[in-house]
């Protein structure tokens, strides 16, 4: 009997290995996710972990008339909701005020903001992490391995049926998980149910939302500057004026993570160096230009050494 059990186990192992060899490549799995996951319909609960902080969030995600709809409800602490209706994004605050804010991807599972394999291949290699079970469902693991030390690892476990990431992780080169999103409950849906996307907070009308105030500078107030070094693969996503007066901000993305660079004229000098909270690093430098002190701040999900080097490379024009 023991010999028969061993033989069966060996046979199952061989069949499993052959199945893995025949499965899609990591790059193909990622491409399937980009195409299918944003249009999937599902609901669930996921946990966001950043450093020592955790937050549970209920999510309902689907499509209506070709547009992505979402509702996210924070389950811990004060009640907060995020409602997405296509390009419109609403934040319902604990005081029941409603703000319509700039679209930046309401949840980490919408995938609209993720880069293409062509863009990511400039800075990452795609590797398979095999199969696992998350929230009671079979998933396929994909790892994005950085080609240099200027960024972190990124890992996704994609639902075998819907390709929705049931877990995503940002991992340092030392193996520390800096940030994790993971479903504890996930249920695909066959049809769109409009009532599931209505705010759970009573008495809320999205038509009463006001636009979140965005401070802007005039053209003559915006500083001119450039970066003399930037990690390969990062591209300028936006160059906008940013308050207060005589300041500027730019956003860079490699298709997975982003960092922002702020340059502003200041009177008070802060301590220089880097600080980190969960996945987010902040680097501060000061430079003199035309007799004025300017603070350079880099904020993003990148290694501290990378943020420091970017800040040092800023040249005022």
* Span 23-211 CATH architecture: Clam (2.50)
Per-residue pLDDT at 214 exceeds 60:
no
Q: Is the pLDDT of residue 213 over 60?
A: no
3-state DSSP: the chain helix, strand, coil percent, rounded to 5? 20, 45, 35
**At 83, is the pLDDT very low, low, confident or very high (cuts 50, 70, 90)?**
very high
3-state secondary structure of 117: helix
Alpha-carbon dihedral 244, 245, 246, 251, rounded to 10 degrees: 40
Can you give the residue ranges of every domain in the chain? 23-211, 219-316
Query: pLDDT, tens digit, for every residue of 234-284?
Result: 988 754 444 444 457 889 999 999 999 999 888 888 889 999 998 999 999
pLDDT at 13 over 80: no
Q: Which CATH class is domain 219-316?
A: alpha beta
The per-residue pLDDT for range 24-80, each reduced to its tens digit, is: 899 999 999 999 999 999 999 999 999 889 999 999 999 999 999 999 999 999 989
Average pLDDT over residues 150-166: 97
Which residue's entry shows tokens 């992780």?
169
């Amino acid at each position: 009997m023991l010999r028969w059990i061993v033989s069966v186990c060996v046979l199952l192992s061989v069949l499993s290995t052959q199945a893995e060899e025949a499965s899609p490549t990591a790059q193909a799995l990622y491409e399937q996710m980009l195409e299918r996951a944003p249009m999937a319909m599902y609901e669930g609960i996921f946990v966001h972990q950043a450093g020592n902080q955790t937050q549970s969030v209920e999510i309902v995600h689907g499509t209506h008339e070709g547009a992505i709809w979402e509702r996210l409800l924070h389950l811990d602490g004060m009640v907060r909701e995020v409602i997405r209706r296509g390009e419109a994004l609403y934040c319902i605050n604990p005081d029941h005020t409603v703000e319509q804010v700039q679209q930046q991807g309401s949840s980490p599972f919408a995938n609209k903001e993720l880069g293409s394999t062509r863009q990511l291949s400039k800075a990452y290699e795609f590797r398979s992490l095999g199969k696992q079970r998350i929230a009671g469902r079979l998933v396929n693991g994909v790892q994005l391995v950085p080609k240099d030390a200027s960024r972190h690892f990124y890992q996704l476990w994609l639902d075998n049926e819907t390709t929705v990431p049931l877990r995503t992780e940002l991992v340092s080169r030392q193996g520390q998980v800096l940030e994790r999103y993971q479903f504890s409950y996930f249920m695909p849906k066959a049809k769109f149910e409009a009532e599931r996307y209505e705010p759970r907070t009573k008495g809320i009308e999205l038509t009463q939302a006001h636009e979140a105030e965005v401070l802007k500078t005039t053209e003559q107030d915006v500083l001119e500057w450039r970066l003399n070094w930037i990690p390969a693969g990062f591209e300028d996503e936006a160059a906008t004026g940013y308050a207060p007066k005589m300041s500027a901000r730019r956003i860079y993305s490699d298709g997975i993570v982003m960092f922002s660079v702020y340059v502003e004229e200041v009177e008070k000098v802060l301590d220089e160096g880097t600080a980190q909270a969960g996945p987010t690093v902040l680097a501060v430098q000061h430079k003199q230009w035309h007799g004025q002190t300017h603070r350079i701040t880099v904020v993003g999900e990148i290694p501290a050494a990378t943020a420091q080097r970017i800040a040092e490379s800023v040249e005022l024009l």
